[in-house]
Chain A
């Protein structure tokens, strides 16, 4: 206790009361909690690295020999398989984000600035409820209910917009996937899954726009939409980016929904209406793990490491954007 007393004296406290046991206790608790996160992160990283090491450092070709899904006869290596998977993961997540972000901002704006108060409260509650639905339920619903409904729409899309490479039908059969188990379906379900997350965060940010800014804009004769553009968006920009990145994080790591919806394959094709072209890292690990031998497990964990790094990079990028943007936001 003596050391604590000394420190308090040195810091010249504003209020001169002694630091109680509760204060010290709480400080230790919160420091411990923060440290635990770092320890966990380090433990996960260490686990991924040590387990993946045999696969990463393998040069003898033994890996390709023992792991049946790496096909050296087709010129494939672990790196290439991971490359295909990273492409699939990023493609599906990006489309999901592209669909979810504008929708989420619209919903959040409606709740924070347009809807009557009572409706807004109910709607906000419903959105939060959506976020609590387990992903396996979204996966089942997508696979059994949504996909059969979407398939005719895909066929229509390919007929009229097939000249866009994204919507190109299968060149050999001339049609899109008859089951609808394609990347766009996975992306749509992922979008539905991340909408509640993005909406919940952006709504909170929009609600915190200083009333003075809003009233100032309105006083200058701005319409409501102009007020939102002048006051709400600049204030909430960093919040929107943060929320989007949170959603992207979930989309990148989502396993079950993709696993149940997508007809998988490996390629770098942008044709999101063709089946058997895409897969994501998380879904791949889940599907190959049960039958994997020792070398296979190591290779799968190497993929997990790749996903871990991508997620870290995405989060760092988001941080960077937020910190850059905050200079221009109306918040200061």
Chain B
């Protein structure tokens, strides 16, 4: 969309070629300045080489960073264990950008290709948001409400626990464990998540609890 060029009043400020306000945000008299013919701004303003404000069009001046006015939430990159700091920009309950956090003493604002792509990870078109269920010997996925899935999983855990419970070994030593359930977790989980897992599994008697660290 191209805006109609309209010549505004030739003020001192317009001749200086400066853009009032900061960060490209359009405020105040911008319209009138950019309405001025670029060559006039170049000739009469602060930017005689036309490398900056004199060359800027009305449309460009109108652009704002997508992070403009966004709330910054402090985060950490989810990929490798360098632990780069991330600034997550949120507007209207939506993440609009993820950038390196310059405050981090480890990463000093940098991110690698993976860290830089973490917004695409969150927004990936392949991400799914509903539970899917495949019944034994089934040939297709079925829908299953989350509540129902949670109930079914709790039942499966208790059933397998009952069926595979080992109270003692052959020599009469205490085992008190359930050998029919195993767990393999990634190592991009939070400490708090790992803690609840280990706590719950241990109480259930599940000992085959493992994660990526071993692999």
Question: Are A and B physically bound partners?
Answer: no
